[in-house]
Each structure stands twice: as structure tokens, then as C-alpha cells.
Amino acid sequence: MEELLKLEKTKEEINLLSPLTWAYIGDCVYELYIRTILVNKTNLKPHKLHIETIKYVNAKSQAKFLENIQNKLTEEEKDIVRRARNAKNHHLPKNVEVQEYKLATAFEALIGYLFLTKNYERIEEIINENIN
């Protein structure tokens, strides 16, 4: 894992990535954080862990999480969210409203951006704000 985390781009290179690329990485980072929290805080079996995980890792929840923290974001974070929310995405799931999906993508992009820039403490603050 350490070797993987050593592969890095400069902040300038990260800023030039598509917001949908940030969301791509943020999706799995967020899910990994949620899964890890649930494994550490519960004694659930894998199927129940999955059921609990999807309560947090879905477009509706992620959109709501972003709305909950909107006023606690820095200006840089608000810019990341704005860029991701406005990004052209040609894939829209059937069971989610377009606005919810855009907000969920923006949330994932924020998590992905923070991960790529190694701001792990901020990721934990944001996730803990929504979990606790």
C-alpha cells in the first residue's frame, strides 16, 4: 500500500484532472473509509456489513452529506464541488434524480481530490461529520 501511495502527481497536475476523475477515485476511497469504519465499530457479518455500507454509499446519501457540510467547506473545496457538479457526465443511473446524482458526484470528487492531494485528515473530518 505504501508503494501505491508513493505514486503521485503534483498539485498542479491534480488540478488539471477532470473532476470526474476525482470522483472516480473518491468513490472507492469513500467506500473503503465507510467499510473500514463499519468493520472497526461493529461485529457484523459480511452481508450485514454490505447492507450497512450501502446506507452511506449511494447517491441519495452522498448528496445529503454534501448538503450537510456545504457551509463548512473551504473556498478551494467549494470550487472543487462546483467544478464536479457542473461536469458533463453522460452516465446517469435510472433510480436517481439528476440533481442528486450531480451532488453525489461532487461529493465523491471532493473526497477524491483530497485523497490525491494527501489531505487524509480532512477526508476523515468530512466523513466523521456525516457518520457521527
Q: What is the DSSP string of 6-30?
A: H----HHHHHHS-HHHHHHHHHHHH
Q: Are 85 and 105 in contact (CB under 8 A)?
A: yes
Q: Can you list the alpha helix ranges (DSSP code H) found in the chain? A: 2-6, 11-16, 19-41, 46-56, 59-69, 75-86, 98-116, 120-131
Tell me which of 23, 25, 26, 27 is the catalytic residue: 27
Has 79 been annotated as catalytic?
no
Give the active site residues. 27
